[in-house]
Amino acid sequence: MTAEEIQNLIANSFACEVCQVEGDGRHWYATVVSPAFEGKRLIARHQQVYAAMGTRLKTDEVHALSMKTFTPAEWAAQNNG
């Protein structure tokens, strides 16, 4: 899979203000900012992103996906201070 394909899977599953994916073709790193994360704990946010990937992690089409997840307010606070 490509970074663009992974970005599309995530962005098509729930609203994202930012969805950036980088990697080497097997190991991926995503930064996802979404209002869908409001009120959710970190594990629930990651589960939401994993759900967007469908079976691709189980079938090893995507070997590893690390991520940072933020609400829009968390993202704004991190980038402004």
CATH number at residue 68: 3.30.300.90
CA distances from 60 to 28, 53, 56, 76, 81 (A): 12, 11, 6, 34, 38
| Token pair in block for residue 25 | 């073709």
Residues 21-30: tens digit of each pLDDT: 999 988 999 9
Give the pLDDT of residue 6. Answer: 96
Query: Which residue spans within 1-81 are E strands per DSSP?
Result: 18-23, 27-33, 64-70
Report how far residue 35's alpha carbon sits from residue 70's, in angstroms, rounded to the nearest whole number: 8
Print the domain residue range for 24: 3-79
- Overall number of domains in the chain: 1
The mean pLDDT value for 40-62 works out to 94
Answer for the pair 23, 61: CB distance below 8 angstroms, yes or no: no
Give the pLDDT of residue 80. Answer: 79
Give the pLDDT of residue 79. Answer: 85
